[in-house]
Structure 1
Amino acid sequence: MYQKSHLYSPSLKNLNTFAIDVTAKKIIFVKTIQSLIVTVQHCKCTHTPYIILGEGSNILFLENYAGVVIINRIKGMKITDKNKFWLLHILSGEKWHDVVKYTLKCNIFGLENLALIPGCIGSAAIQNIGAYGLEFKDICLYVDMLCLKSYKIHRIDVNSCEFSYRSSIFKHKYNIDCFIIAVGIKLTKKWTPIIFPLLNVNYNTQIKNLTPYKIFSEICKIRTKNLPNPKKIGNAGSFFKNPIITKQQANKMLSLYNLPCYPQENGLIKISGGWLIQKYRFKNINIGDAAIHKKKKLILINKKNATANEIINLAIIIHNGIMRKFNIFLEPEVDFIGIKGKVHPSKIFKS
């Protein structure tokens, strides 16, 4: 049943990886689809705003939230053994990294390149998470979505998910009154390592001896060494996306700089946003406790008690600087949450 209101406003500091100290009217943890539906129905009947979070790993609360924050803890996994494939049906409240570790333990391979990515399964689909040569879309079979108007579950085939770089149909068309219940993942039993340049540092003479466990271990070492641990330093991973530009823009940049470029399937070119920030030389700007991470320049960090305003002001300085120097728009990767819900980036960053 829906919980009664408390007289205090509970803090969200431990429920968002940026560790922003804001409050909500109420926080409710849900462990079943039915309890989620009951909670949403009550919010709608009382005209109370609500948002649904997993680990809070890709958001920035801009201020205190005037509604109910629903924390998804709907967990479970079913593994089906086929002749040539493993089929995984995973409920959206499962932590992504826990699933990676569990499949390895079961000798089911194919997720190891996505080790140590924070967040839950539902967020993996929304963001189309990716790292070291693999994206969620490459292993996704379907996404089960609950419509929060009809309360019916619809299965969205991978080809209809409109996956692209850190984006999907769930971030746009289905970002309101929709909730991801589960995802389907398909992993081949004929395992082939996905070799990413960083992995070749230690294994360029031993590729034939690579195992999923070695790749998992190496990626965990790389991420632990280079990326800030949200449990120790508040952050939401990459604050900005790596820009994707036209070949003409890339050629112009390459005539001036030795710029890392990555051709995309659609003929466009992805360039390193971290390189742009490094090249600009922002001189380790700090605004209060908001700062640029020393190793990964796309990551903004909360060193201790940064406010949302401090992080936003730092982000605007970076965004405007890159626009002035390179004429490239840095698009934020994080979602912004205002007093009643999501705030479009255009309200913060000017093109």
Structure 2
Amino acid sequence: MKRILFIIILFTSCQEEISLELNQARDKLVVEGSIEPGFPPYVILTKNQGYFSKIDTNTYSNLFVKDAIITVSYTENNVTEVIELTTEVTDLLGSDTIVIYTVKLDEYDFINGLDNYNFSKIGRTYNLNIYWRGDSITAQTTIPEPTPLDSIWVEKSEFGEFDFESEIRAWYSDPAGVQNNLLTKTKLVSYSENDSLECKSIDKEDFFLQLLDCGTDILIDGESFEFPIPKLDNGFPIGNYRATHYEECENGDSVLINKEIVLIKFCQIDEESMRFWRGVVRQAGFNSNPFTEPLNLPSNIDGGLGVWTGFSPTYYNVPIVQDTTIFYQYDPKFEDIL
């Protein structure tokens, strides 16, 4: 019996070390390109990362591609116009790490950033061409007609713990008979944080727009309705916007926290772009579930990954003041469209 037990222990304690040699994925470009009426196009390029790739402090800085050759073109009345995008503007915008390709500094007034760039117009189809390390990456997108919101207003949050927590609501009339692909982005152009040790308010702002939602109007064609339907898990952030209020400091005093100001970008996009951005929204929702697998996002990039999008936006500057209604559109500058 002892001999049998010894043999069992001997075999069960033997472990063979297995080393898997995984093929290294070939570098592919990930494209985030954008063009909208009145502004020069811009492109951000990164390299894809393998699923099991090591991530360290150098990963982020080495992610962005700085040595690509990029052109954008359109053809109208049998005449083709081509522009080249460079990285000259990156330093001007104060971006330490993110590399942005757009037109040269002498081709557009980035300081004032007005929407007077005639290359980019509604109804045109734009071709993106990227040359990088012997590869050619192409994409095509169209800038559709815009569909503005009827109105926007701010109200006390239904789910907020405090009275100053607010929701942004909107009314939208969907044009009937055509497929409208809708995308919404926002960013906080002004907000404050409480330095409770110093008992003072620190003013801040976001640099990039954040994607909120994207989808098609198939189920709402031709209807007028209020949105978003209040939900805690998607749509506009519920209870995340703050009106002017006081916050307590560690020494027992109070400090005034100014109202937030929100920039809303409400867009029409073409169908291929919509499929990509809708996939991003769905992926963000799935990420809250640890048992779901990552999705392969649709792409309109031939030879790479990502998306080249023609946006047809309307912008709204919304101060978080409860019971305030906004009817007028906001005229953005270049830094607002990023």
TM above 0.5, one fold? no
Hey, which of these two has a bigger chunk of strand by percent? 2
- Asked which structure has the greater CA Rg, the reply is 2
Hey, which of these two has a bigger chunk of helix by percent? 1
